[in-house]
Amino acid sequence: MIIKLGDMITDDRGRVGELINIGIATEMADPAAELDTSANVKQYDTELGYKGAITFGSNWCYFYQIKNVTTKEDSDVDVAIEQENESIEEEKRLKDIDDEISWSK
């Protein structure tokens, strides 16, 4: 099953939410893909069989716990990703300004 950011996910507990993160584990000791070494992707085919987890709404589950996926329009996902990227860039810019002010004191 192919999952993409923005899809609506239902897990094996019946929880539902919008898919906001797909993490693929890169270490055996990190099956939930929580370490900095894990890979975050926009799309993943669960038939590949990698270990990892997703975040949907305020919930998370392993790939094998996904029961249903409802696809959202790709254009909506692209807009959401772009807005998130802009927000992150703005936060970095403001932090840099704070650092410069602190350093000059």
**pLDDT, tens digit, 9 for 90 and up, residues 15-62:** 999 999 999 999 999 999 999 999 999 999 999 999 999 999 999 999
This prediction's pTM:
0.68
Alpha-carbon distance 81 to 75, whole Å?
10
List the beta bridge partners of residue 22: 41, 54
**The pLDDT value given to residue 104:** 67
**The pLDDT value given to residue 95:** 84
